[in-house]
Structure 1
């Protein structure tokens, strides 16, 4: 049986998204249908629309989501109907070589639902990041559902499903930031501001926020930045070095993901410091870095995938931390919008007007 729902669909590369009727199958083995309550508007969804991730159009967009499990298929033991969950795109397999080595954050065989959701005419939809949550309901692998406190605000905790978790995790899990560290974050959109919050929570004594936009720097300050650098008016490397007594930061997080910002991060760290790349570069980008400079510096260069998170471990812990006042997740929700306003939200995101627009269903 298939259930009718509304969903935001990108029919072809670069075309405006549309709200269309879609059909959601009953869950099969290891699957769950989730009634979506809220879903954040992320740059990744725009990358899908623009063809920057793949070409398997039409796409059902949306992935930073929370909702209530409506039905489960056979062989599902982690959730049941009525559970309030945050959706994730890392349903680990437990069997690949990464999982067997105890490094499930690098799982090479993450799970998604096997059967596609479709348009009414039967055209299969590709669900963004295996989720597709700009919709009244969606079909996912049960492992993509993480139970959290049912009294949580879906618009707030759903953001852990991608950008907020990526930024916090880059600081807390990947770096990891230690008590007393100096930290610089280059790029203060949603992911960068989350990295600022994660660094502050981890006990950094100094958190330097770098961006071209004064609005984003103000958001970073609200979330724990101690120093602000507007890269329109100052060289970020020189500014970070000056603010850290001439030596550079212990941890520099590149939340932009461009060759120029990565070079800034590389040269702005202390000689034994750590560079973390969490901003996602485009496939056409190349890095030109003298190998002797890499050799001449110790420390580490790390990539952070999804904040190196394990959803079952990290989502409930961060929700509890938020409820106790340890991290202000509410600050990431700039506006709450309807399903038909996603295209406008993309424009606002591109213009740097919001940390996150959140679709509320």
Structure 2
């Protein structure tokens, strides 16, 4: 409710795919992409601009969901990470993530192997300002592992934090080595992007918006057909049907099919499945039924399905409940749609 449409969605696979794509695009535009808000701001009802949100999930739950896109971004060489002003009570009950050594050093750095630049969310936000002294918060954040303290509002806040860090180093509350390592990381990142103080020409916003609109519009006929096909598959799967048959799985028998469609083109008993499979070639359907004549499986081998890729399916349905490669060189990805199983079988090409 807080992040809303500032997120790419509620599915960790979709967020990962689109997020990494955007990260790559920003990088190619010679701009440093920043991944945020670690370790996940989605499951909060309090706006950290106003107050301090608390997340009650344990680390195991976070790793299965919120942390998935961050882990994928790290694997794809994310250069910069923003840490959130949220208290993850079961990881660190005392400090928000932006001030937490348990989150920044132990989780992000050590467990996930992240070696890039860490920046805090804006330290002048209500989440910090209402609950912590700004000077102490900045010092705590640096000792927790932050490389950059972000201040979005107020020159006086900038001066306060600058002076507090300077004093903390003089008084040995922050080691010079800590500062040196942060400076090195920041300079190395600037060098990677060849940043300098030269003025950059203003962007033509009108042209940019036209390009964005063109990129996100379904003006590609193939993409539109794939989307409609997947939408149809999803609807039919929820009804226990497939795109080529009106028969409901677990609720129909083979006698009803034969009455409507006539005799099958071929029939074979498969001992491993403990059932008979009838093929109706013209309808691109295989029907599996048991001794009682009840249907337990419907399969479609419609040629239009060949237009779909594994990525198309994962982008639409999200992460599958299972993904296996069989001994006969097929990949099967499975989804649970209501009380039914939806499976996609892809023949793997020989290398």
TM-score interval for Structure 1 and Structure 2 normalised by the shorter chain: under 0.3
Structure having the higher strand fraction is 1
Greater relative contact order (CA < 8 Å, ≥ 6 in sequence): 1
Q: Which one has the largest radius of gyration?
A: 2
